[in-house]
Amino acid sequence: MLFTTIPAFTFLLTSLATLSAAAPTLDVRQVNARSWSEPEEKYYHAVGDRVARFVRTANFPAPPACNIENAPMNRGALPPPSPGLVLSHVVVGRGTQNFTCDTTNASAIPVQVGAVATLFNSSCIAGLYPELLSLMPPVAIRHAKPADADGLAPSNLWLSGHHFFTAGGVPFFSLNSRNGDYGQVGCKKDGATPAPDPKNVPWLKMSTAHLDGIEATYSEVYRLNTVGGQPPETCAGQKDHIEVEYAAEYWFWKSK
């Protein structure tokens, strides 16, 4: 459903919505309340460009297939996926990185204790509209953390699952939701590289961590295009539990 007071977008976005369920659409209810930030402006212009190109070149054909295997993954300085793996799922995650602080020591450094994020199926966007995918985390961070029932504002991406840390401190991805079961994986960090802007959490390459009784669906997972998530430099003036908002792309690779 589109509620828009911006007529130029109504037609364009409705066309895009009919193109594919994966097409990001604009829910103007979320953004009318204030003027657009630079990330939002970039995102909406890219949506507009994409639709304009589609309208010029296509006669409203059947939706294109969502083949994600060749989706371009910008991994920065991280090593490539291991040979024999194929890209199988892509999500935008939106949540918090959690830290604890020793409040008795102003020069203490926050310690990471976990992360919690809701993950949204971005596989089709990664395959079909990669230039839009890369603009989504900077917009997602400006919207409230989504509830499971919501899509990822301001698009209508579907829920894929959740990211959290296990009781034993293992980063875990459960890609199982009412929209389908795309598997699960516990991870360990294999490589990290600072985000292009170091005020965002580093980009990571992760591989499977063995967890008793859990069969991992994926061999390698990348955290890329991060926004936010960095703790304060010291615990001065902090509470004992700190949550820092973040958004990121996660790319899931599995054996052929």
Ligand X SMILES: *[C@@H]1O[C@H](CO)[C@@H](O)[C@H](O)[C@H]1NC(C)=O
124 is an interface residue for ligand X by CB under 6 A: yes
When binding is defined by CB under 6 A, the residue of 10, 96, 103, 193 that contacts ligand X is 96
When binding is defined by CB under 6 A, the residue of 130, 165, 191, 209 that contacts ligand X is 165
- Cis peptide bond N-terminal to 154, omega within 30: yes
Q: Which residue, 205, 209, 203, 204, is CA-closest to 168?
A: 209
Residue nearest to ligand X (CB): 114
Q: Which residue, 135, 129, 151, 126, is CA-closest to 44?
A: 135
**Reduced DSSP (H G I as helix, E B as strand, rest coil) percent helix, strand, coil of the chain, to 5:** 20, 35, 45
From CA 118, how far away is CA 160, in angstroms rounded?
8
- Nearest distance from C-beta of residue 4 to ligand X, angstroms: 22
Strands (E), the chain: 85-100, 111-121, 159-165, 171-177, 180-193, 203-208, 220-228, 241-255
200 is an interface residue for ligand X by CB under 6 A: no
- Nearest distance from C-beta of residue 76 to ligand X, angstroms: 22
Q: Judged by CB, which is closer to ligand X: 6, or 85?
A: 85
**x/- letters, 133..162, toward ligand X (CB under 6 A):** -------------------------x----
Strands (E), 63-218: 85-100, 111-121, 159-165, 171-177, 180-193, 203-208
- Nearest distance from C-beta of residue 104 to ligand X, angstroms: 7
When binding is defined by CB under 6 A, the residue of 129, 182, 203, 253 that contacts ligand X is 182
- Nearest distance from C-beta of residue 35 to ligand X, angstroms: 29
**x/- letters, 67..86, toward ligand X (CB under 6 A):** -x------------------
Phi, psi of 181 (to 5 degrees): -110, 105
When binding is defined by CB under 6 A, the residue of 52, 58, 86, 109 that contacts ligand X is 109
58 is an interface residue for ligand X by CB under 6 A: no
Sign of CA dihedral 218, 208, 131, 16: positive
36 is an interface residue for ligand X by CB under 6 A: no
Q: Which residues bind ligand X (CB under 6 A)?
A: 21-22, 66, 68, 88-89, 96, 98, 105, 107-109, 113-114, 116, 121, 123-124, 158, 165, 182, 243
